[in-house]
Amino acid sequence: MLKRKLSLRSRIFLFMIMLVVVASILIAAVTIIQYREQSQDYHRQRLERKEAQLISSINYVLKETTWEIKTENLYLIFKDKIYEIANIHNVSFNLYDLEGNLIKMSKSSVENTRIDNYLSTEILKQLNESVSKRYVEKNKRLGGNYRSSYVMLTGNNAKPLGILNVPYFDDDTLNEAQLNEFLIRLSYAYIVMILVAIAFAYFVSKYITKSLQTIREKMKGTRLEKSNQKIKLVGASLEVSALVESYNSMIDDLEESARKLATSERKQAWREMAKQVAHEIKNPLTPMRLSVQSFQQKFDPKDPGVHKKVDEYSKTLIQQIDTLSSIASAFSNFAKMPVQKLELLNVVEVVELALDIFPDSDIEFTSNESQINVDFDRSQLIRIITNLVKNAIQSIPVDRSPQISIIISSNDTDVVIQVKDNGNGITESIERKIFEPRFTTKTSGMGLGLPMIKNIIETYNGSISFSTLIGEGSEFTVRFPKHS
């Protein structure tokens, strides 16, 4: 099963919300990273300041001491001074000789911390290989970040004298509390910002897609057979304006194509009509020609029956001339609809009058009202009824008793006329052609009856349709408004 695709409006809305959420997450991540880097820089700089202060005090003691400045005398030189320096700077530290042996520590014991009496070979190696002669060891102790710095001490002659060890514990409790408080406040701001973004995204997506919705509705209603309106949008974006211009250009092209197609169809229709007229006229001309030729060959003034023969020839010619006249009248009526003479008619009365020319035994007429008034042309309404009833009668086989019913009904706005027969029905192969000019299933006639009444009905904004069952009959339904 294919998933339903999101609309453009939904996608714009979701993308804008996602953008705000992703931006919020990135800002929070950058804030946390920045806080932690600042904390690391703070502890690093603080340790360096403590080291500098201690080294300054140690150098002062070395300058003022009366002992010879060498590694072996460091214990004697700082025997009491180490406590004084530690108290002044409020820092505990340790002194090691160059081999890593503990010489002196500022406190006899460090709470919760064990002081190594010997430095590891790794620490000595890192210290000696360092250009700055400084090495900071980091490890986890006491549930927090614990670091211990080692700095090479030098004498007046810049020769290595000993190793200064400053233990340092990174206490980030305050920073973590500040970070948590900041993140809480930031989350409140993010919630407000997301709510504002949702409202903003909703209106922006609605504004962006409003023009597209208008275009969609216009395109959905575009038809070749009718006049299509162009789109006029004010304040649309460049992309939407370009789309509107393309649509309007397409409408112009469509109307031009429709005009050319209509012209072509009219020309083709008149060509077909001309062929039909020529064909229908040739039918009576042939017997007329043969009659005249026969008259020329057999005419004898001395023949005693010459007057009778002339009379027969004249009747034949008059009959064929009448046929030509009926053909001309039929095509004239189809090609040019008579001028409408609208009048207020009682449909029931006019239909009953039109049915008088047909046998009463064959037709059953019913109406739900005795009077249904409409604005219609009397002669055209009679033409519609007579044509439909005549077709109904002709559709019934000779071995079947005709049963034709005409039913008239109406509502507040429309009149409905139903003509039902028990004929052969209309086969599927000719259903689409039944209202086309020239099409007929009869041995006589020109196939103009139904197309002509269809034109009349559509002139009154009405419609004609039919339903059929093969072998059982057909039903034609005419519907038109009461008032034009």
Res. 230 pLDDT band, cuts 50 70 90: low
Closest CA to 165 of 146, 147, 151: 151
The residues that bridge with 105 in the sheet, in sequence order, are 94
Alpha-helical runs (H) found in 90-172: 121-129
In angstroms, rounded to a whole number, what is the distance separating the alpha carbons of residues 459 and 57? 116
Determine contact, residues 166/82, Cβ cutoff 8 Å: no
pLDDT band at 444 (very low <50, low <70, confident <90, very high): very low
* Torsion sign (Cα): 201, 203, 206, 211: negative
For domain 342-481, give the CATH superfamily.
Histidine kinase-like ATPase, C-terminal domain (3.30.565.10)
Asked whether residue 334 carries a pLDDT value surpassing 60, the answer given is no
Q: Which candidate, 296, 289, 348, places its Cα nearest to that of 317?
A: 289
Quote the CA–CA distance of 452 and 380 in Å, as a whole number.
10
**pTM metric for this prediction:** 0.40
Distance CA 110, CA 482 (A): 111
Residue 57 and residue 52: Cα distance in Å, rounded? Answer: 9
Task: For residues 440 and 429, give the distance between their C-alpha atoms in angstroms, rounded to a whole number.
Answer: 13
- Cα separation, 20 vs 441, whole angstroms: 73
Angle formed by the axes of helices 449-459 and 378-394, nearest 10° = 140
Which pLDDT score is estimated for 231?
Answer: 67
Distance, C-alpha 91 to centroid of its chain: 72
Does residue 1 surpass a pLDDT of 50?
no
User: Has residue 162 got a pLDDT over 80?
Assistant: yes
Half-sphere exposure of 310 (CA within 13 A, CB side): 9
Q: What is the pLDDT of residue 274?
A: 66
Per-residue pLDDT for 448 more than 60? no
pLDDT, average across residues 234-250: 69
Q: Quick one: residue 166, left, alpha or beta (phi over 0 = left, psi -120 to 50 = alpha)?
A: beta
- CA distance linking residue 98 with residue 119, whole number of Å: 10
In CATH terms, 238-335 corresponds, of 3.30.1490, 3.90.1070, 1.10.3210, 1.10.287, to 1.10.287
Q: Is 480 helix (H, G, I), strand (E, B) or coil?
A: strand
In the structure, what pLDDT confidence band is assigned to residue 477 with cuts at 50, 70 and 90? very high
Average pLDDT value for residue range 157-161: 83
Provide the angle, in degrees to the nearest 10, between the axes of the packed helices 306-335 and 449-459. Answer: 40
Average pLDDT over residues 379-398: 84
Q: What is the mean pLDDT of residues 333-357?
A: 74
Query: Are the folds of 8-177 and 342-481 the same?
Result: no
Is the domain 8-177 a CATH 3.30.450.20 member? yes
**pLDDT digit string (tens) for 80-138?**
888 888 888 888 899 999 888 999 888 764 444 456 788 888 888 888 888 888 888 87
pLDDT tops 70 at residue 337: no
Rg (the chain; Cα; Å): 56
Q: Give Cα 202 to chain centroid, integer Å.
A: 17
Of residues 193 and 50, more confidently modeled: 50
Q: Would you state the pLDDT for residue 38?
A: 82
Name residue 222's beta-bridge partners: none
* CB-based contact 450:387 (threshold 8 Å): yes
Would you place residue 407 in the very low, low, confident or very high pLDDT band (cuts 50, 70, 90)? very high
Residue 21 has pLDDT above 60, yes or no: yes
* Site of tokens 């053909």: 327
The SS3 assignment for 292 reads helix
Amino acid 416: pLDDT: 92
The terminus-to-terminus CA distance of the chain in angstroms comes to 51
Instruction: Please say whether the dihedral angle defined by the alpha carbons of residues 370, 376, 382 and 383, taken in this order, is positive or negative.
Output: negative
Sheet of 414-420, strands arranged across: 363-367, 404-410, 414-420, 473-481, 463-469
Closest CA to 448 of 326, 339, 265, 322: 326
- 238 confidence band (pLDDT: 50, 70, 90): low
pLDDT tens digits for range 275-291: 666 656 665 666 666 66
- Measure the CA angle with vertex 334, ends 328 and 337; round to 5°: 115
Domain extents for the chain? 8-177, 238-335, 342-481
Q: Between 417 and 178, name the one with better pLDDT.
A: 417
Give 174's Cβ-side CA count (13 Å radius).
Answer: 6
**Taking 70 as the threshold, does the pLDDT of residue 439 lie above it?**
no
pLDDT the model gives residue 478: 92
Cα–Cα distance, 482 to 484 (Å, whole number): 7
Mean pLDDT of the chain: 77
Residue 362 in tokens: 């064959």
- The 10s digit of each residue's pLDDT in 294-307 is 667 766 676 777 67
Residue 480 has pLDDT above 50, yes or no: yes
pLDDT of residue 36: 80
User: What mean pLDDT is predicted for residues 376-402?
Assistant: 84
HSE-up of residue 48 (Cα within 13 Å, Cβ side):
8
364 or 303, greater pLDDT: 364
Question: % helix / strand / coil in the chain, to the nearest 5?
Answer: 55, 20, 25
